[in-house]
Amino acid sequence: MSSHHEHQVLNRKIFTLPFIFLAALVLIAFYILAERMIFGLGAVTNLNDGYPWGIWIVYDVVIGTGFATGGWVLAMVVYIANKGKYHPLVRPALLASLFGYSLGAFSAFIDMGRYWNVYNMVLPGQININSVMLEVGLCVTAYTMILVLEFAPAVLERFKIPRLSQLLDKWLFVIIGIGVLLPTMHQSSIGSLLISAGHKVDPLWQSLSLQPFFALITAIAMGFSIVIFEASMVTVGFKRPSETHLLKGLGRLIIYLLGVYLLVRFGDLVLRGELGRAFAGDLRGNMFLLETLLFVIPLVILLSPGRRSSGAQLLIAAVSLLLAGALYRANAFMIGWHPGGGYIYFPSAKEVLLSLGFVAIEIAGYLAIVKFLPVLPKADHA
């Protein structure tokens, strides 16, 4: 996006030991990916008829796009709510979102049994307009392209192409508008996927009509949390000035989101008479309690103005909330899944290694790009 703040290239060495370690994970992932594309899903995954979706969809897409909502939520705050003081956080958040959504879309592609038919998704004669997956697929793909446009000013600035940058600025309001709409649609549709699964989703997570709301509000909270996490890591990792004076404002917004979420979540369970399942002592009940605890911890931390002004406390709150949001989605799509027929699923080592490789791509790519393009704000703005 266009910036009213100056950004800088970090002139530091790219090939550090952490970068080389991440690159090794990426190479392993590429080997597994080649095996999957040549020999099929069965060669590298433990998927079966009861569990057609494993961690590639649940982590890389459902959770991964939740982690990648930083650019979306900051666009709403900065450009819709006109809170320009948060602008220095936008470009780094967009970069993280671009990686998250690109890899989420690619993960959905490699999880397709017949991936060579993916083009049917955009053919009018082949589109299934009743499919929730169609909306998710189209919105994720379109938003990834929007993120490319939103991040383009960093590239144009680096290579000094002012005419194209000015042209992009003229259409910025349209790009931002579409960029706010698309994640709103597909994040809520992730909840709609659970509705379509019906009785296969445990009642602790199957609220039917409220699933889109839960998916959307947790995505927004995760978006603010990933901005706090990413900014904190940049401060520590690159020894830059703290941005706590900005991040504490995002922490205040998270309080309202968590308050509403927990109130509606537990109100729904009480009204449906399903809250007792949380205390059954079984795996699903215990996972629900752990998920709830992880949601409550950041609320307790952030309610205190003093703790909210502490960079360390903000980071703890953000990490807890990210884990809570991830566990909520993992519980709903995997732990709380009742496939019937005696099916069980545990990811294979190759599934795990491929997902780790994707995480490595995101981190290594981020580390390299902030040293090559003007992404981070100049130190006097931080």
Q: Does residue 326 surpass a pLDDT of 80?
A: yes
Distance CA 117, CA 102 (A): 19
Which of 306, 311, 305, 292 lies closest to 228, judged by CA?
A: 311
Q: How many Cα atoms are found within 13 Å in the side-chain-facing hemisphere of 254?
A: 35
- The residue behind tokens 């791509």 is 361
Of the chain, the end-to-end C-alpha distance in Å amounts to 18
- The residue behind tokens 């609320």 is 299
Mean of pLDDT values over 172-199: 90
Q: Does residue 4 surpass a pLDDT of 60?
A: no
pTM metric for this prediction: 0.92
Q: What is the pLDDT of residues 70-118, one digit of tens each?
A: 999 999 999 989 899 999 999 999 999 999 999 999 998 999 889 999 8
Asked whether the beta carbons of 291 and 321 are under 8 A apart, the reply is no
CA angle 57, 103, 233 (to 5 degrees): 110
Q: What is the pLDDT of residues 200-224, one digit of tens each?
A: 999 999 986 899 999 999 999 999 9
Q: What is the pLDDT of residue 379?
A: 75
DSSP letter string, 193-211 = HHHHHGGGB-TTT--GGGH
User: Within a 10 A sphere around the Cβ of 107, how many other Cβ atoms?
Assistant: 21
Q: Does residue 294 surpass a pLDDT of 60?
A: yes
Mean of pLDDT values over 122-132: 85
Q: What is the mean pLDDT of the chain?
A: 92
